[in-house]
Amino acid sequence: MKHKSLLIVSLLAAAFAAGGCATQSLNAPAALVQGTAQPLIQGNWDAFNRGRIEAMIAAYGKDSPTYDARKPPYAVFDWDNTSIFLDIEEAVLVYQLENLRFGATPQQLDTAIRVNIPGKDFNAPFNNAAGQPVNIDKVAPDIIESYTWLYQNYRGLNGTQSLEQVKATPHYQNFIAKMRYLYEAIGDSFDHAVAYPWVTYHFAGMTEAQVRQLTADTVTWQLAQPIEKVKWTSPAALPGRAGVVSVSWKNGLRLVPEMQDLYGKMRNAGFDVWVCSASFVDVIKEISSNPAYGYNNPAERVLAMELERNAQGVIQPEFRRGYDQTQGKGKTKTIERFLVSRYGYGPTFVAGDSEGDQNMMQDFADTRAVLIVNRLRASDIGKLSGVAVQSYGKPDAKYLLQGRDDNAGAFVASQQHTPLGAKEGKLLK
């Protein structure tokens, strides 16, 4: 049995090096495929995807006769909606709003929420309750008026009242609803290059330690929340310039055991594991490296959105000069700058879920396997998902589409995605 295992691993390594995978890898028992390495947990993996990933690990990890610890293979994972269910940056924003965990003065926040936001009206779905268009020059003054009141009155900022006391005021609901609304309106109305960094500017006035504690508190809170859609509406008592607005989003972030296991099994097999995320770097460092969350990835192996900091380490509402945004083509540029320059080659494995990941999934000739968490997305990620559907079951499949049920916040053992509220899954949009 031992000799047969070594033979199959050798065949896998040769086949993957040629850009394919030996047929034996798809049908062999996990013990044969993995050699001395442990197989992935079965969990809710699609069985074909699990087998292909195990074959890739066997072909390039420590069991491969061509493995060189001085030139290890490496994997790059997106974080939000890939390594976890839902978006940690969005969850932190909601927790930050609900608990008024801000470090900015009203003047600093006014600057932060306006950075690079065009003055034109938001798209029609974000008209106010009266059907009138809204733009940054209408909603920002409303936000800052209420934040100023909260800043002067809440004892966690610069006042004397408790959180319970200020929550009973219309200024509290006006502030949190219009801030969360503004995030969605910007994302729907403008380019990702505008929308993605915007949410990170709310950390202005905070330190890395404060952001990491905020993230830990958010995760604890979110894991206890039901998976559901939440809606906030600003109070009619404070219409302001923008009028009454509403916003909805998904709540109930979950950790993904299959991904926790994959991170660890890849590291144990001799892969270097990296995260490349469009969320703020300190947020991702905390959730990906804190042992309590099961991913145990070193904080120094995180590539994510960066902001300027002053000499005391206080975060500024300005994107870090000389750095690319870690979304879209910026992910490829960041990997080229920090990883290809370090290793001399591209990632062997890439995982993602959205348009922000499609570039890094396609841009490196060294990539042998790509995992797409199915969220029924369009654009190029939809085309790659289509390739995964067409190549499903084939021994040379590179793109792997992993299904998910948003009602459970968990993988499913197929390629299908079931949206929140739906009873049946779909393969493609």
Each residue of 80-93: pLDDT tens digit?
Answer: 999 999 999 999 99
| pLDDT at residue 6 in the model | 38
DSSP, res 119: S
Residue 251 Rama label (left phi>0; alpha psi -120 to 50; beta) = beta
What is the spatial distance between Cα 254 and Cα 349, in angstroms, rounded to a whole number? 23
Please state at what angle helix 257-268 crosses helix 47-60, rounded to 10 degrees. Answer: 20
| pLDDT at residue 195 in the model | 87
Per-position b or e across 310-321, b if 16+ CB within 10 A of its CB: eeeebbbbebee
| pLDDT at residue 19 in the model | 42
Domain(s) labelled CATH 1.20.1440.320 in the chain stretch across: 88-251
2-84+255-418: CATH class = alpha beta
User: Which residues, including other chains, have CB under 8 Å from residue 384's CB and lie 6 or more apart?
Assistant: 358, 361, 362, 370, 372, 399
pLDDT < 50 positions in the chain = 1-15, 17-34
Task: Tokens for 88, please give them.
Answer: 């940690």
| CA separation, residue 155 to residues 9, 101, 149, 207, 355 (Å) | 62, 11, 12, 20, 41
Place of tokens 């733009």: 135
| pLDDT at residue 192 in the model | 87
What is the spatial distance between Cα 383 and Cα 96, in angstroms, rounded to a whole number? 36
- This prediction has a pTM of 0.91
CATH architecture of 88-251: Up-down Bundle (1.20)
Task: Tokens for 149, please give them.
Answer: 């009141």
DSSP, res 296: -
Q: Encode pLDDT of 339-363 as tens digits.
A: 999 999 999 999 999 999 999 999 9
User: Which residues, including other chains, have CB under 8 Å from residue 122's CB and lie 6 or more apart?
Assistant: 133, 134, 135, 185, 186, 188, 189
| pLDDT at residue 42 in the model | 97
What is the spatial distance between Cα 91 and Cα 103, in angstroms, rounded to a whole number? 18
E-state strands within 44-190: 74-77, 84-85
